Amino acid sequence: MQFPNRTLLRIFAIAGGQAVVDLGDIYVSTPRDEWKYTDFFTVRGTVIDKTGQPFTEGAWILVNQNPVSRRPNFISGKISGDGQFELHLPPGRPYYLIAKDVLGMGRPQPGRHVGAYTGSDPVFEQNKPEPKPIPLSGGAGEVISDIRILMIEVPDIPSQSQSGPGQPIKQPRKVDVPDMK
C-alpha cells in the first residue's frame, strides 16, 4: 500500500465465510488536511424492517450514481443493530441509495433482504408495490435527515422451466408433415 492518493488495491470481502466477492479496484488515500466537513453533504437515516422497526440484522448502503450500475460508487460500513446510518457524499451529483444485508455481485438470493430510498413513506401493505428508487442530492455542508429505507425479503421466484407448481412445461404434440424427413 502506498500513500497518498495513488494506491490501487484489490479488495475482497468474505460474507459469513460463504463466498469471496471481488469488489474491484478501489482508490484509497489518507484524508487531506484541506478537506472540511463542508466539502460534502451528509445523509442520515434508518434502515427499517416490514414492521417499521430498525432492521437489526445489519446491512450495507450501496451508493450509485446510476440506478442500474453493477458496481456502486460508494459502500458504507456495516450498519449496526439500530439501523442508523450516516453518509458523507460529494455534493452536486444525484445518488441512489440501495441497502443489502449481504454484499455481493448480481441479484440477491431468495431469503436475503434488500431495500432502496424511494423518497416516500414505505408501503407496509401486502400486494402494494413499493415506489421506484429515486436519487437524492445535496449541496456542500447540507444535511439531509430522516431518510428511511425499507428492507424487504427477496421472494423465491419459481423457475421459468415450470408451467405451474411442480409441473413440467407441456411439449408440443408431434405433427407429421408429408414429404418431410
- pLDDT recorded at residue 12: 54
What are the pLDDT digits (tens) for 48-93? 998 889 998 889 999 999 888 888 899 898 887 899 999 999 998 9
Is 72 exposed, middle or buried, given 0-12, 13-18 or 19+ CB atoms closer than 10 A? buried
Query: Which three cell numbers, joined as nine digits, stand for 7?
Result: 494506491
Q: What span, in angstroms and rounded, lies between the C-alpha atoms of 85 and 44?
A: 6
Q: What span, in angstroms and rounded, lies between the C-alpha atoms of 35 and 75?
A: 20
The helices-and-strands tally (H runs, E runs) of the chain is 0, 12
In the predicted structure, residue 176 carries a pLDDT above the cut 70: no
Single-letter amino acid, residue 16: G
Q: State percent of the chain over pLDDT 90.
A: 33
In the predicted structure, residue 123 carries a pLDDT above the cut 90: no
Q: What average pLDDT does this structure show over 163-179?
A: 59
Q: For residues 74 and 63, is the Cβ–Cβ distance under 8 A?
A: yes
Cβ within 8 Å of residue 121, ≥6 positions away: 148
CATH 2.60.40.1120 residue ranges of the chain are 36-155
Buried b (16+ CB within 10 A) or exposed e, 132-156: ebeebbbeeeeeeeebbbbbbeeee
For the CA atoms of 102, 108, 112, 117, the dihedral, rounded to the nearest 10 degrees, stands at 80
Neighbours of 171 (CB within 10 A): 6
Q: For residues 105 and 62, is the Cβ–Cβ distance under 8 A?
A: no
CATH of region 36-155, choose from 2.40.50.140, 3.40.190.10, 3.30.1050.10, 2.60.40.1120? 2.60.40.1120
Q: What span, in angstroms and rounded, lies between the C-alpha atoms of 150 and 98?
A: 10
